[in-house]
Structure 1
Amino acid sequence: MPTTATRRIGTCTAPATTLIEGRSQIDGGLAYGALEIQVYACDEHAHVARTEWVRPPLTPITAIAERVVDRQCGEAVDPR
């Protein structure tokens, strides 16, 4: 069974409103592959999460907002 590791990125602890998924690329970047990281962010840091916290070669994807429950800005989850 896979383990899930959670760590902090940054110092903001505001309630998260956005979930950014970092996915690997397949087929030359035309499709998305495995989920490599999930990063939670508040409204103020959502752009930072997409551009700085999820870094190439991963592709940042904004996930469904309803999946953000009881998380703080800056929480990063490695689902592998």
Structure 2
Amino acid sequence: TLGNGNMNTVESPRERPFFTSSEERLQKLSRYRNKKAKRNFGRKIKYACRKALADSQPRIRGRFAKNEESEANRE
């Protein structure tokens, strides 16, 4: 709360209680679970030029490496 000479109070929105019915809560939970199940963790490369660049870059154990690092590992 903030106050000045006449002590006006300002409440933050976090202090107000937020009530929902159990039916509404179940609907929100099911929506969350459905969205969670549909998450796509696969990587989709949208541009062919990016894929070509990525395929041509040197790798060490599947990760991109700098040219100096890849040459040092080959020796």
Q: TM-score range by the shorter chain?
A: under 0.3
Between structures 1 and 2, the one with greater helix share: 2
Say which structure, 1 or 2, has more relative contact order (CA 8 Å, 6+ apart): 1
TM-score by length of structure 1 reads: 0.17
Between structures 1 and 2, the one with greater strand share: 1
Q: Indicate the structure (1 or 2) with the bigger Cα radius of gyration.
A: 2
TM-score by length of structure 2 reads: 0.18
